[in-house]
Amino acid sequence: MLTFTDLGHGAHFGWARVDELAEHHDRALALLSPAERERYDGTASLTAAEGFLWGRMLLRELVGRLTDVPAASVAFDATCPDCGRQHGKPRLKKGDLAVSVSHSPGVVAVAAAWGAAVGVDVEPRSGSTRTADAITAVAGASADPLRHWTRIEAVLKADGRGLRVDPRTVAVARRHATVDGVRYRLLEPTVAEHAITVAVSEKKAS
């Protein structure tokens, strides 16, 4: 089941449980571009490959709903700024809609925002892929370290540099966060047994 929500503040969110997506597998493969299919086929981990597949499908479904175009017509550029390969942050080839995707072992989440940078991060409440030590090192004395981590990672994904930026440089205060002078609003949709944050810049994306 695919679920899409308007979060307000120009942000939109979608998610699905991986175990409910099997019937969409052939369609998801058909939606991939040649470069995306090459990336899917070349991913050694089945879990990672399927996460990528479902992420691209959900992104296309969300963008299609927001722009009133068929999902099959939605095209992304994912050029890595470091090596030029197609494994970087996805961007629409046309339009002013920013997008982001995140996947945990059980859930795929996507987000989009008009005229603003956007990032999404999802982590399971149990069995997180992040080690407790890594989360605590960033979250410090936070009452909810995993939630604090999703806030930081969502901001860094919206920023576009990801973990190339030291997570400790992100200042989090309630429903906002700041990194390198850019302020982000933090939105937190509810999905059972998961911590999810969507970060949306309060300045126009460049």
Distance from C-alpha of 41 to C-alpha of 21, rounded to nearest angstrom: 19
Which pLDDT does position 174 carry in this prediction?
A: 81
- Stretch 152-160: mean pLDDT, rounded? 94
Give residue 189's domain range: 3-204
Confidence band, pLDDT 50/70/90 cuts, at residue 206: very low
Residue 187 has pLDDT above 80, yes or no: yes
Which pLDDT does position 2 carry in this prediction?
A: 85
Q: Which tens digit of pLDDT belongs to each residue from 2-17? A: 899 999 999 999 999 9
Confidence band, pLDDT 50/70/90 cuts, at residue 205: very low
Confidence band, pLDDT 50/70/90 cuts, at residue 38: very high
Which pLDDT does position 164 carry in this prediction?
A: 80
- pTM metric for this prediction: 0.90
Which pLDDT does position 84 carry in this prediction?
A: 81
- In the chain, the number of structural domains is 1
Per DSSP, the three-state class of 173 is strand
CATH number at 10 reads: 3.90.470.20
Which pLDDT does position 127 carry in this prediction?
A: 65
DSSP 50-118: HHHHHHHHHHHHHHHHHHTS-GGG--EE---TTT-SS-S--EESSSSEEEEEEE-SSEEEEEEEESEEE
CA atoms within 13 A on the CB side of 32: 20
Residue 129 has pLDDT above 80, yes or no: no
Looking at every residue in the chain, the average pLDDT score rounds to 90
